[in-house]
Chains A and B, each alone.
Chain A
Amino acid sequence: MIESNFYKKLIMPIILSILLVALVLLGIYPNISMILGGIAIFLIGMEYMENGFKTFSGGMLEQVLEKFTNTTPKAITTGFIATSIVQSSSLLSVIVISFLTAELITLSSAIGIIFGSNIGSTTTAWLVSMFGLQIKISTYAMPMIVMGILIPIILKDKGWKGIAAILIGLGMIFLGIGYMKEGFETLKEGMNLASYAMDGYLGIFVYVLVGAIATIVIQSSAATMAIVITALATGQIEYANALALAIGANLGTTVTAVIAALKSNENGKRLALAHFIFNVITASVAIIFIYQLTYVVDFLSTIIGIDTHNYAMKLALFHTLFNLLGVIIVSPFIKYLVEFLNKRFIQTSTEVGKAKYLDNSILSMPDVAISAITKEVQHLFQNGFKIIIHGINIKKKNLTADMDPKKVLLDTYANEYIDIESFYRYQIKGIYGQIIEFATRAQGNMNDAENSHNVEYLYKLKVAARDIVEAVKDTKHLQKNLKKYATSKNKYLKEQYNQLREDLIVLLRDINSLSSIKEQHEIVLILSKAKVHSQKYDMLANGRLDNLIRENLITAEMATSLMNDSTYVYDISKSLIDMAEVIFVDATIANNILVDDDDIDDLLNKN
């Protein structure tokens, strides 16, 4: 269940293999062939349903999972509702892993969603037992499939295409169940599988094992449950053994997840182990208390009006009940589980020069991809910020502390200025390249009108990343003369260069403060003030320069250097302010919201 890409790669070969075996057995055992054909159709139906919901929800599922999972009860409820509607725990798990990688949700939220999803996946059993076995397949399944085929021909809208795929999926699921049921019914005439029934705990263990193996082979606990329910409804297996098979199906999905997680990253491994622990505990409790649970099922069945002999629905109730019990038992310990998992799988620190949040699995989810790129640009900014600070030879801790800029200047970072070029190549260039590549690939999935705002914002993010790169490069140019004139014997020149560094300190301090500010008006105000000040400093620098030249206090060569360098400081400020508007101001309003250059000119001329 956990590594959906792994599952996706396997599912088609599995369906084809099942169909191949069905074809081979067609002449010898037509009943078994029919059951196998039913399983294959059921699995194809599940695929259609999953893809249909993906298309129909158009990113809504991702938004819900991101926003309504901040507490464990919310995460469990969201996981349960989402899986019940989408009927695909694998779709949910791939989104959850992507969110974890992009750090959009915490590990405890992810575990909560997976727990909820486990309960949600039991609704398949309800669907099969309530409708699948009672609806006349030929009456409902076929029209559903036909409608699913016709809708996209008539209605071109993306949402309708999704609904069409859901209809085809649902129709195929019912059709698959129909074939399985028919297969089991005719099989009964020649072979009675119920004669292999086993009593007591030996029977429970054997059937748990059979259920687990069946799920590992067909890679779908929903399909296993469909087989078990249809076999139970046709009297091919006994109720007690069917309960054990349901427990086995739960365990089987975990084995698949653990195998898949071996190839996954730390987040995938943590989540797979959490799921494994949860399912093992749940299965153990269900096995130990199987007889007590059967009584509870009987008791609840009479309350909710399930017929005493409707074993298919009783099995569905049992499936939900023991998963619910598992969640009640394990969820109070999620905090400790997270601590254990974090210790067990230590995140290998991402190389400084590599992207942290860009994972290919989120490329197809526009909103999530945008969030990840925004985070990555912030990551790039953190690296660039450090290079700029150290590049002008000041300490980061002094900048973040409320220290007088003049004192910050005196406490230098190192005896010699750092080599910005090598830091740029190591900490900026790679991430910048990865952002541009990822953004371009993500844009490929945003071709529809619904995503026009995302495309626009994506462009701004690319420009923001470029602004950071430009700011670092400008600092490199500025540094040349800072190095040369910082120790100059000409005190006027030295003063001017220190003034430039001071101007930058004020700006960098302002921009650094933005990440901890929540109020939008405060962020906008800080940036607009920074914009005004950067223009003011530029004008002042030019004014100061005129005086120095007029009074022969600096040479012509020094004057041109100073003029160029004050332009670099202005450019660095401009790049950082523009970048900050994109990544710190609310995306809804961050479109030239800051004060205009003309307004600033008016203000400065007035003063």
Chain B
Amino acid sequence: MEIKKLIKSIKNAFDINVSKKENKKDKIKELIKELKIKRRDLKNKIKTKRSKQKIQDLQEDCEIITLQIRKSKRILRNLKND
């Protein structure tokens, strides 16, 4: 099994298209991770705010981040299925 994995990774390293795809997957995964951290920070921030407008703005930001995460996951799924 390990040998198979090794052969695959060597093959990927020489195949430009495969390594590009892997690179894209990694970058999108990184993006999702960063967005989740950002959303968690915003949610913590909401708890400390008193102004209704501020809370509403932050909530809207959280919703947009959720949309962005969903969109990024969709792209990632499509890449895996290719």
Contacts and interface: CB of A to CB of B under 8 A. Distances in A.
Interface residues on A, range: 20 to 34
Interface stretch (A94-102, A516-524, A541-549): A516-524
B71 A593 contact: yes
Contacts of A586: 27
Contact of A600 (B20, B28, B35, B67): B67
Interface of A: 450, 453, 519-521, 524-525, 528-529, 532, 586, 588-589, 591-596, 599-600, 603, 607
- Label chain B's interface by main secondary structure: helix
Nearest to B23: A588
A532 to B, nearest CB: 6
Contact of A525 (B28, B30, B60, B68): B68
B41 to A, nearest CB: 12
Contacts of A528: 64, 67-68
Interface of B: 16, 20, 23-24, 27-28, 30-31, 34-35, 38, 60-61, 63-65, 67-68, 70-72, 75
B71 A596 contact: yes
A519 B28 contact: no
A521 B68 CA distance: 10
A528 B31 CA distance: 13
26 contacts: A450-B16, A519-B34, A520-B34, A521-B34, A521-B38, A524-B35, A524-B68, A525-B35, A525-B64, A528-B67, A532-B64, A588-B20, A588-B24, A588-B27, A589-B27, A591-B75, A592-B75, A593-B28, A593-B71, A593-B72, A595-B67, A599-B67, A599-B71, A600-B67, A603-B63, A603-B67
Contacts, number: 57
Given A520-B27, A525-B64, 5 more contacts: A532-B64, A588-B20, A589-B24, A589-B31, A593-B31
Given A520-B34, A521-B35, A595 B71 contact: yes
**Top 9 nearest A-B pairs by Cβ distance?**
A521-B34, A595-B67, A599-B67, A528-B68, A589-B27, A588-B24, A588-B27, A521-B35, A595-B71
B8 to A, nearest CB: 21
Contact of A520 (B31, B60, B70, B75): B31
Nearest to A519: B34
A589 B35 CA distance: 15
A529 B31 contact: no
Contact of A521 (B31, B61, B64, B70): B31
Contacts of B64: 525, 528-529, 532, 595, 603
A102 B24 CA distance: 27
A599 B70 contact: yes
Contacts of A603: 63-64, 67
Nearest to B32: A521
Contacts of B38: 521, 525
Residue among A450, A520, A591 with the highest chain B CB neighbour number at 10 A: A520
Contacts of A525: 35, 38, 64-65, 68
Contacts of B75: 591-593
A599 B64 CA distance: 9
A519 B70 CA distance: 19
Residue among B16, B23, B68, B72 with the highest chain A CB neighbour number at 10 A: B68
Contacts of A529: 61, 64
A11 to B, nearest CB: 33
A591 B27 CA distance: 13
Contacts of B31: 520-521, 524, 589, 593
